[in-house]
């Protein structure tokens, strides 16, 4: 492969997964993520891997459960309605402490919704999606290069903490083409002595399970899991700041919305408005610390998101409601235009702060 290649976001995810050592992919086609499956179907047979189009999303996620139990790197991908169907299996994986990469290339909802891009699965991704107390690590790329980098990072994080990881993209990110480099791929190996690989009568057998009928035991499992979550919250939050040094207004946006917002911020700066952006790269753990710190200097936060206002709740929690948080949004497959975001920034500047 040349130093740089031109890829769709969906293809970059698939190739990066292969580079991260993933040799098992189970999926079911759905727009706008089908190129992931198509790419895997072409590549996996050539490298001794497994591509399997399951009979449904539910079957696919349970195949992922099975392969993950054996300690192998494994992934599945879908788009919003398909991820809803996977949620039961994701909960079981969280309960059995199984790593895997689950990709959601979001489309408009609810229900069958549309096929155009959306970010309205934020709650579904960050609140666990299935039943029970659990989290997924949620990674939100904002370029095709990041689609690749965060896919690899996702496999590492999953193995490190023994939990499912979600890559949360959207239809535009999946379909858009950008140059991407795989030059600096580094991936780590983690201890998987917990995996079910056959005891050869040499060790006690391992059990992969999420059923604990004794409440004391189940409570203990939950407590232990949330101790691990605390470590993740302390160490793994990722974000990027843009022109925040002297900012009085802070835009918060992720994924494709962050790219539109960045253009709006540049335009606002030309008008003399001091505005910057904090772009969460992990949605769970949410980068709370930089946002709380920003409350000392900014008078208003603006959440730019392609949902009816989901991330805005996390911003309010992170900033402890010290500053007003405005919402700039489009939904249903619509992407906010730079002008729409600029209008929100202008309005916030005009209103000013109360600090």
Q: Is residue 201 close enough to count as binding another protein by CB under 8 A?
A: no
Minimum CB separation from another protein for residue 256, in Å?
Answer: 6
Interaction mask 206-245, another protein, x per CB under 8 A: ----------------------------------------
Q: Is residue 15 close enough to count as binding another protein by CB under 8 A?
A: yes
Which residues lie closer than 8 Å to 350 by C-beta, 6 or more apart?
none
Cβ distance to another protein smaller for residue 46 or 200? 46
Which residues lie closer than 8 Å to 251 by C-beta, 6 or more apart?
261, 264, 265, 275, 276, 277, 278, 301, 302, 304, 341, 345
Q: Is residue 42 close enough to count as binding another protein by CB under 8 A?
A: yes
Cβ distance to another protein smaller for residue 50 or 176? 176
Cβ distance to another protein smaller for residue 7 or 232? 7
Q: Is residue 47 close enough to count as binding another protein by CB under 8 A?
A: no
Which residues lie closer than 8 Å to 35 by C-beta, 6 or more apart?
8, 10, 11, 14, 174, 175
Candidate ranges 87-95, 184-192, 242-250, 254-262; the one touching another protein (CB under 8 A): 254-262
**233 phi/psi in degrees, rounded to 5:** -60, -35
Q: Is residue 45 close enough to count as binding another protein by CB under 8 A?
A: no
Tell me, rounded to whole angstroms, the distance of Cα 174 from its chain centroid. 13
Whole-angstrom Cα distance, residue 6 to residue 179? Answer: 4
Residue choice 133, 178, 233, 343 for contact with another protein (CB under 8 A): 178
Q: Interface residues for another protein in 85-144 (CB under 8 A)?
A: 115
Q: Is residue 259 close enough to count as binding another protein by CB under 8 A?
A: yes
Interaction mask 155-174, another protein, x per CB under 8 A: ----------------xx--
Tell me, rounded to whole angstroms, the distance of Cα 92 from its chain centroid. 19
Cα torsion at 245, 247, 252, 256 (round to 10°)? -80
The residue assigned the tokens 């916030």 is 348
User: Which residues of this protein are in contact with another protein, per CB under 8 A?
Assistant: 1-2, 4-8, 11, 15, 31-32, 35, 39, 42, 115, 171-172, 175-179, 256, 259-260, 262-263, 335, 337-338
């Amino acid at each position: 492969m040349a130093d740089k290649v031109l890829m769709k976001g969906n293809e970059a995810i698939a190739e990066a997964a292969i580079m991260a050592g993933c040799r098992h992919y189970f999926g079911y086609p759905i727009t706008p993520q089908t190129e992931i499956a198509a790419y895997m179907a072409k590549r996996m047979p050539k490298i001794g891997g497994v591509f399997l189009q399951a009979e449904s999303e539910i079957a696919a996620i349970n195949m992922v459960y099975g392969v993950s139990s054996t300690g192998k790197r494994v992934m599945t991908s879908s788009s919003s309605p398909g991820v809803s169907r996977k949620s039961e299996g994701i909960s079981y994986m969280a309960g059995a402490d199984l790593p895997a990469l689950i990709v959601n290339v979001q489309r408009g909802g609810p229900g069958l919704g549309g096929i155009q891009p959306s970010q309205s699965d934020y709650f579904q991704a960050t609140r666990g999606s299935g039943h029970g107390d659990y989290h997924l690590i949620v990674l939100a790329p904002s370029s095709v290069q990041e689609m690749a980098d965060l896919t690899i990072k996702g496999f590492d994080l999953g193995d490190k903490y023994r939990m499912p990881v979600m890559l949360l993209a959207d239809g535009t990110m999946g379909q858009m083409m950008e140059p991407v480099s795989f030059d600096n791929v580094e991936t780590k190996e983690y201890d998987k002595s917990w995996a079910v690989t056959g005891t050869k009568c040499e060790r006690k057998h391992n059990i992969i399970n999420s059923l604990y009928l004794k409440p004391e035991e189940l409570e203990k499992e939950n407590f232990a899991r949330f101790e691990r979550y605390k470590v993740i919250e302390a160490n793994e939050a990722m974000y990027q700041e843009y022109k925040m040094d002297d900012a009085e207004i802070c835009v918060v946006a992720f994924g494709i919305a962050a790219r539109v917002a960045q253009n709006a911020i540049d335009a606002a700066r030309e008008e003399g408005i001091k505005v910057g952006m904090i772009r969460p790269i992990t949605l769970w753990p949410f980068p709370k610390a930089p946002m709380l710190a920003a409350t000392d200097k900014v008078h208003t936060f603006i959440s730019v998101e392609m949902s009816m206002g989901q991330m805005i709740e996390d911003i309010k929690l992170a900033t402890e409601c010290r500053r007003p948080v405005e919402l700039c949004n489009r939904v249903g497959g619509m992407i906010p235009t730079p002008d729409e975001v600029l209008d929100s920034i202008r309005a916030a500047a005009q209103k000013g702060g109360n600090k």
